[in-house]
């Protein structure tokens, strides 16, 4: 009779470097640094970049649920982002509904849209899915641009810049840092939960081989739709936070292909399908692009983007599994028991 | 009555030009199974090339084909070697982002080199042709003819040469093609370069019609994608018919509904096709639903 | 205390006091400039930037403002959200209290929003959307004309000038309105619609279109079917060119064509469509006004501006570039010299007190800002009621201002416009 090894204690379950299914010290330390950063008000001149990094990390995690975990590479998430942002803003400006509630209404609206997209593209793979999601987002953008009576059309929607905690217009950058950090942590927790749960198991199964999964009794359509809806809901919530931070929604940018690419790019650079990957991706790319534009934006028109895009190409070619993937390779192989 | 004829004929003519710029993309898409997000920028680079050639030598832009088409072939091969080839071995998303990065890179290199000024060539034909009250622009008609010729020649190449067979085999099933002894990576390279060369040809036809500026590709790239998907990945006659469809739908819907919704209708058309006939009009059966070409 | 000791102490204290004065006299005046320098709006953004740089060079050569030189800190505002980020960066990191820009309406809306949030003074040169000054902001000033003025100029030109020349009573004229459906086009279009309604005129055609459209056939065909006498079009350079070419191709003829700013006032239009441009009218900032309407001092400044701009860019400035120059020049010569602390509230007071008649600025405008006292909208402040928008016309040699008569350099030619076969 073989002796079963004792179940490892909680602390021993935490690994050194990130891996699926286990918390790692790396992530704990990273997140602790984020909390401390906000709590101690570090680097007040970079707060704008910090807020954006946190927000986009959360958005990257949201996209990752569909793209990384379920394998649904979508380039239309800006539609969900926009739906969330516009829903809460319209409810606030026209019906005086506080964005603290509006954010959840927006999430529901976005979730419905996500489920619709998933149903439309039920059978599509790879580039076809990508292009369909792009077309979907473009339809949303054109509607937002032209339905002026509801969305303000091309002139967009402005929220009065009067600090008002009850209506999610915060007075200080630090407060926004805290808000977006909460969003990031929520998205991270959601991803970790998925990894550990049965639903998450189905997601990964569908991603890796959906025919086999179907043969095993998993319903790909249901799982996909649920994943997309969840991803969309979280993205929509990020949209509301964005609206409450910038206080201005312009349909051409808020529902743009550029933004959709950004949501997909960050997890790809950081490490698709992992919980820490999207965070790393955002923490690398967001400050980098802001810094490049700030410092080179006035040198020669376009130079900062030339450098940014060249860097992007190089990173994609040499770090295809993202930063998290590179970290994985650093881990020593565990001996099999 | 005149109106609807004018709309349809103009739609078909501009549709043929759209088709010409999409043929390269459908071949690349069909063979390599990659979405080249920098397709619009390839077009932009080619258009600058045509404009420069035309302005420097004082020639008709159509003659620029002699220089631009081979130059684009080489450019495509170069891009394949440096960026695409390396990306193909990696997960699919890498190629998508690499081409996206390439798109931003080319747009801004063009901005730095050529500034944001609009570039044009003088009109080739003094007046448009009028047949029974329907007006036909000479440059458009020429574009239509070039597209038809190009389609016919390409079809011949695809059906009657070994290269064409190899391409068709790779479109159908890359794995099987490899097993049959086809040097699939070389087919990839040739297809990518040829697709770029075709974009060069399209540029010659488009420069008399459209101004050139660094972000001009953005206006066309989504149209190209829609045509490729509509017509069926890898299908040349599909691209042609897809182009006609898009041209006419745009024309007619903008007239009868509202021009503000410009692109809405053909995106909706695209989504409808995706729901009911995802392989497009002439596409490889199962292409949309079976996935990648390993 | 002996006399000499007293004098010594007084002198010493004076010296000490002088030494402890902050060395402000030598410090530059730093102004944040937010313009689209990359992306689809880059062309006009860069032209504006050149014009503003000339203004800075000219003022610094004249000794600066009360001895202090002007220094620009630049931000690339290529999208509204980049605009907000760049504005915030200049404010929080570089401590900027004065911003200017932004050429395009969506950028202007975003920059002024970010500025107001930090209580920073924003001097908007050309962004025209009405909403810029209607949000109850205290520190945003729009020197250029609001969107409705562009449209009014075009419509007044029709009512007070073209109608007589075409020998048609106003209610028999069929007027078509075509507007690109982003912030500027929509804003101007709304203004024209409201103005014509107030004059009891019904538009024969009123459509917005997608600015990125590549095929103008359906639009031109519809216009042909409507057969208007006059078309007012708000387009950007690329779509203006496509429209004119398509109009020629389909033989769409009108008695008069009035473009509004942006595409139709771009000097490149002639490069792209050649002589077909002659006869097209443009409602916009005057590129050059009847010099008689300018004050002598302004005339000299104007001449120097045109000389420098043409030397650098090899072509005359477009209306919006001239407007950009005019606006910052007014900031340098009418607002900042009166400032002591350069705090936004002080600048606001100075700006609100300005009362410059038409002809004071290089492009013929005056300055008088609203202050929450605009009858139509109590939240409207900072709007310049004296921004001049007139109508000029493309001619064989260049362009000439044709309306209103006070600003005009010559009367309009080619009324009615000849058919395409004769152009």
Mean pLDDT, range C343-347, rounded to an integer: 92
Mutate to test the interface with C, among B17, B118, B267 (most CBs of C within 10 A): B118
- In sign, the C-alpha dihedral spanning A240, A246, A249, A250 is negative
* Residue ranges of A 141-160 with Cβ closer than 8 A to chain C: 142, 145-146, 148, 153-156, 158, 160
Q: Which of C302, C329, C327, C317 is nearest to C392 (CA)?
A: C317
Nearest to C80 among A148, A253, A297 (CB): A253
Structure tokens at A221: 């359509």
Q: How far is B93 from chain A (nearest CA, A)?
A: 7
Residue by residue, DSSP assigns A144-184 as HHH-HHHH-GGG-EE-----BGGGTB-SSHHHHHHHHHHHH
Region A111-131: mean pLDDT is: 87
Give C81-98 as a 3 state SS string.
HHHHHHHHHHHHCCCCCE
DSSP C230: E
Long-range contact set of residues B95-98: C-beta below 8 Å, sequence gap at least 24: B95/B34, B95/B35, B96/A73, B96/A130, B96/B34, B96/B35, B96/B37, B97/A261, B97/A264, B97/A265, B97/A268, B97/A312, B97/A316, B98/A312, B98/A313, B98/A316, B98/A317
ipTM of model over 0.85:
yes
Q: Which domains can be identified in chain C, with CATH numbers?
A: 24-145+291-388 (3.40.50.2300), 148-284+391-422 (3.40.50.2300)
Whether A275 is covered by a domain: the verdict is no
Contact across the interface for B251 and C214, Cβ inside 8 Å: no
Q: pLDDT tens-digit profile of B174-230?
A: 788 888 888 888 889 999 999 999 999 999 999 999 999 998 998 898 899 889 988
Per-residue pLDDT reduced to its tens digit, A150-206: 888 888 888 887 888 888 888 788 889 999 999 999 999 999 888 888 888 888 887
CB contact A272 to B (< 8 Å): yes
Please check whether residue A72 lies inside any domain of the structure: yes
Total of domains in chain A = 1
Flag whether pLDDT at A331 surpasses 80: no
How many contiguous H segments (helices) and E segments (strands) does chain A have? 16, 2
What range defines the domain where residue A139 resides?
A: 44-256
Nearest to C221 among B7, B247, B261 (CB): B7
CA dihedral C42, C48, C54, C58 (to 10 degrees): -150
d(CA A293, nearest CA chain C) in Å? 7
Question: Taking CB atoms and an 8 Å limit, are B35 and A135 in contact across chains?
Answer: no
Mean of pLDDT over chain B? 88
> Given an 8 Å threshold on Cβ–Cβ distance, is B10 in contact with C217?
yes
Shortest alpha-carbon distance between residue B62 and chain C (Å): 18
What tens digit of pLDDT does each residue of B39-64 get? 999 999 999 999 999 999 888 889 99
In order of A53, A208, A271, the CA distances from A274 in angstroms are 18, 14, 6
B284 or C346, which is more confident?
C346
- With respect to residue A295, please indicate whether it lies within any of the assigned structural domains: no
| Chain pair B-C, CB pairs under 8 angstroms | 108
Q: How confident is the model at residue C219 (pLDDT cuts 50, 70, 90)?
A: very high
A 240-269 → B contacts, CB under 8 A: 261, 264-265, 268
- Tokens found for residue A49: 């970049």
> What SS3 class is residue B272?
helix
Measuring CA to CA, which residue among C198, C149, C148, C193 is closest to residue C175? Answer: C193
Look at the block and give the residue holding tokens 């000097």. Answer: C267
State how far Cα B144 lies from the chain centre: 14
What is the SS3 assignment for C145? coil
Q: What span, in angstroms and rounded, lies between the C-alpha atoms of C107 and C36?
A: 8
Tens digit of pLDDT for each residue in C135-194?
888 999 999 888 888 989 999 999 999 988 888 888 889 999 999 988 888 889 999 999
C299-324: per-residue pLDDT in tens? 889 889 999 998 998 888 888 888 89
The helix (H) or strand (E) run that includes residue A309 is helix A303-318
pLDDT band at residue A86, thresholds of 50, 70 and 90? very high
Instruction: Retrieve residue C413's tokens.
Output: 């030619």
Range of the domain at B280: 2-290
Contact A102, A92 (CB under 8 A): yes
CA distance A325 to chain B (A): 12
Long-range own/partner contacts, residues C338-343 (CB < 8 A, 24 or more apart): C342/C29, C342/C97, C342/C98, C343/C97
Query: Would you state the pLDDT for residue A1?
Result: 45
Q: What is the pLDDT of residue B292?
A: 46
Q: Does pLDDT of C401 surpass 70?
A: yes
Distance from CA of A272 to the nearest CA of B (A): 10
Alpha-carbon distance of A243 to A226, in angstroms, equals 26
Give the pLDDT score at A8: 54
Residue A190 lies inside a defined structural domain of this protein: yes
The mean pLDDT value for B149-154 works out to 94
Chain C residue with Cα closest to B111: C38
Residues A25-70 have pLDDT tens digits of 788 888 888 888 888 877 777 788 889 999 999 999 999 999 888 8
Is residue A188 in some structural domain?
yes
| Contacting residues of B for C218, CB less than 8 Å apart | 7, 250-255, 259
The verdict on a CB contact (< 8 Å) between B116 and C421 is no
- pLDDT by residue (tens digit) across C262-271? 789 887 788 8
Helix, strand or coil, per DSSP, at residue C366: coil
Q: Mark yes or no for CB contact B278/A124 under 8 Å.
A: yes
Measured distance CA(B65)–CA(C365) in Å, rounded: 50
Inter-chain contact A154–C116, Cβ cutoff 8 Å? no
Q: How far is C266 from chain B (nearest CA, A)?
A: 10
C-beta of residue A153 within 8 angstroms of C-beta of residue A266: no
Share of chain B above pLDDT 90, in %: 44
Q: How many CB atoms lie within 10 A of CB A98?
A: 15
Of A139, A303, A308, the CB nearest to B112: A303
CATH of the domain at B49: 1.10.3470
The answer to whether A326 faces chain B, any CB pair under 8 Å, is no
Domain count within chain B: 1
Q: Is residue A294 part of a domain?
A: no
**Parallel, antiparallel, or unpaired: how do β-strands C205-209 and C140-142 relate?**
unpaired
User: Which among B115, B123, B262 has CB closest to C209?
Assistant: B262
Do A66 and A207 form a contact (C-beta atoms < 8 A)? no
Whether the per-residue pLDDT at A222 is higher than 70: the answer is: yes
Does the predicted model carry a pTM greater than 0.90? no
In a domain, A216, yes or no: yes
pLDDT band at C5 (very low <50, low <70, confident <90, very high): low
Average pLDDT over residues C107-135: 89
Residues, chain A, total? 337
């Amino acid at each position: 009779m073989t002796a079963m090894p004792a179940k490892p204690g909680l602390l021993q379950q935490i690994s050194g470097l990130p891996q699926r299914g286990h918390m790692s010290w790396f992530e704990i330390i990273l997140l602790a640094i984020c909390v401390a950063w906000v709590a101690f008000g570090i680097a007040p001149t970079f707060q704008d970049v910090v807020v954006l990094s946190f927000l986009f990390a959360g958005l990257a995690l949201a996209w990752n649920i569909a793209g990384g975990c379920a394998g649904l590479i979508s380039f239309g998430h800006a539609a969900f982002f926009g739906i969330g942002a516009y829903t809460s803003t319209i409810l606030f400006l026209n019906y005086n509904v506080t964005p603290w509630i509006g954010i959840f209404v927006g999430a529901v609206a976005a979730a419905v849209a996500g489920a619709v997209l998933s149903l439309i593209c039920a059978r599509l793979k790879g580039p076809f899915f990508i292009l369909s999601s792009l077309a979907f987002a473009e339809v949303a953008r054109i509607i937002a641009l032209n339905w002026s009576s509801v969305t303000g059309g091309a002139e967009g929607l402005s929220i009065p810049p009067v600090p008002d905690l009850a209506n999610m217009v915060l007075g200080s950058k630090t407060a926004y840092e805290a808000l977006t950090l909460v969003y990031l942590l929520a998205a991270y927790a959601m991803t970790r939960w998925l990894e550990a749960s049965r639903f998450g198991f189905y997601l990964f199964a569908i991603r890796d081989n959906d025919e086999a999964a179907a043969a095993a009794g998993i319903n790909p359509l249901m799982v996909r739709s649920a994943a997309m809806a969840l991803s969309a809901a979280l993205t929509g919530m990020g949209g509301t936070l964005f609206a409450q931070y910038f206080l201005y929604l312009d349909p051409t940018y808020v529902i743009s292909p550029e933004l959709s690419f950004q949501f997909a790019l960050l997890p790809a650079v950081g490490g698709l399908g992992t919980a820490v990957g999207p965070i790393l991706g955002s923490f690398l790319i967001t400050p980098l692009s802001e810094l490049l534009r700030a410092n080179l934006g006035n040198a020669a028109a376009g130079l900062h983007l030339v450098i940014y895009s060249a860097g992007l190409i190089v990173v994609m070619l040499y770090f295809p599994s993202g930063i998290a993937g590179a970290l994985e390779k650093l881990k020593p192989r565990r001996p099999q028991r | 009555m005149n109106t609807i004829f004018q709309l349809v004929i103009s739609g078909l003519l501009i549709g043929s030009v759209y088709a010409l710029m999409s043929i390269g993309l459908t071949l690349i898409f069909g063979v390599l199974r990659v979405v080249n997000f920098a397709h619009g920028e390839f077009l932009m680079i080619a258009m600058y090339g045509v404009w420069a050639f035309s302005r420097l030598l004082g020639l008709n832009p159509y003659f620029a084909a002699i220089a631009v088409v081979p130059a684009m072939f080489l450019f495509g091969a170069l891009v394949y070697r440096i960026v695409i080839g390396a990306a193909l071995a990696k997960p699919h998303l890498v190629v998508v982002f690499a081409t996206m990065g390439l798109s931003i890179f080319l747009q801004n290199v063009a901005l730095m080199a050529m500034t944001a000024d609009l570039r044009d060539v003088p009109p080739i034909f003094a007046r448009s042709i009028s047949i029974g009250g329907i007006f036909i622009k000479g440059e458009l008609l020429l574009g239509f003819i070039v597209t038809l010729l190009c389609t016919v020649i390409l079809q011949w190449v695809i059906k009657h040469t070994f290269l064409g067979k190899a391409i068709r085999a790779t479109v159908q099933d890359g794995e099987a093609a490899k097993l049959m002894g086809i040097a699939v990576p070389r087919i990839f390279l040739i297809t990518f370069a040829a697709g770029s060369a075709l974009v060069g040809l399209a540029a010659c036809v488009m420069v008399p019609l459209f101004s050139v500026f660094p972000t001009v590709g953005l206006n066309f790239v989504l149209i190209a994608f829609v045509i490729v998907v509509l017509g069926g990945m890898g299908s040349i006659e599909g691209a042609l018919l897809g182009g006609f469809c898009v041209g006419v739908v745009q024309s007619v819907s903008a007239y009868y509904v509202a021009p503000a919704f410009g692109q809405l209708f053909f995106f909706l058309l695209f989504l409808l096709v995706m729901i009911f006939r995802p392989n497009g009009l002439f596409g490889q059966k199962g292409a949309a639903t079976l996935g990648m070409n390993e | 205390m002996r006399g000499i000791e007293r004098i010594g102490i007084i002198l010493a204290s004076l010296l000490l006091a002088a030494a402890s004065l902050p060395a402000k006299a030598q410090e530059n005046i730093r102004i944040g400039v937010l313009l689209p320098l990359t992306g689809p709006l880059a062309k006009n953004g860069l032209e504006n930037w050149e014009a503003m740089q000339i203004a800075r060079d000219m003022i610094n050569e004249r000794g600066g403002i009360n001895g202090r030189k002007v220094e620009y800190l630049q931000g690339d505002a290529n999208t509204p959200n980049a605009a907000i980020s760049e504005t915030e960066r200049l404010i929080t990191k570089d401590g900027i209290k004065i911003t200017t820009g932004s050429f395009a309406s969506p950028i202007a809306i975003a920059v002024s929003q970010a500025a107001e949030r930090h209580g920073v003074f924003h001097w908007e040169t050309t962004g025209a959307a009405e909403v810029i000054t209607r949000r109850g902001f205290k520190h945003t000033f729009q020197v250029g004309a609001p969107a409705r003025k562009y449209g009014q100029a075009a419509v007044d030109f029709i009512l007070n000038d073209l109608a007589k020349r075409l020998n048609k009573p106003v209610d028999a004229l069929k007027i078509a309105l075509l507007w690109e459906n982003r912030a500027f086009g929509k804003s101007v279009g709304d203004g024209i619609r409201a103005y014509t309604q107030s004059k009891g005129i019904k538009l024969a055609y009123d459509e917005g279109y997608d600015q990125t459209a590549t095929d103008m056939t359906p639009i031109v065909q519809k216009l042909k079917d409507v057969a208007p006498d006059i078309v007012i079009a708000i387009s950007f350079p690329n779509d203006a060119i496509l429209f004119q070419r398509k109009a020629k191709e389909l033989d769409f003829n009108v008695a008069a064509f009035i473009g509004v700013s942006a595409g139709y006032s771009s000097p490149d239009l002639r490069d792209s469509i050649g002589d077909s441009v002659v006869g097209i009218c443009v409602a916009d900032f005057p590129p050059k006004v009847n010099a008689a309407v300018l004050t002598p001092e302004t005339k000299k400044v104007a001449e120097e501006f045109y000389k420098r701009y043409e030397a650098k860019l090899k072509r005359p400035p477009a209306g919006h570039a001239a407007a950009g120059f005019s606006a910052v020049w007014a900031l340098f010569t009418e607002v900042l010299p009166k400032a002591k602390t350069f705090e936004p509230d002080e600048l606001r007071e100075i700006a609100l007190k300005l009362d410059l008649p038409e002809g004071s600025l290089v492009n013929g405008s005056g300055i008088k800002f609203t202050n929450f006292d605009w009858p139509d909208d109590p939240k409207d402040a900072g709007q310049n009621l004296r921004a001049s928008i007139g109508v000029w016309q493309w001619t064989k040699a260049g362009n000439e201002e044709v309306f209103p008569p006070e600003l005009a350099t010559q009367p309009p030619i080619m009324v009615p416009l000849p058919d395409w076969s004769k152009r």
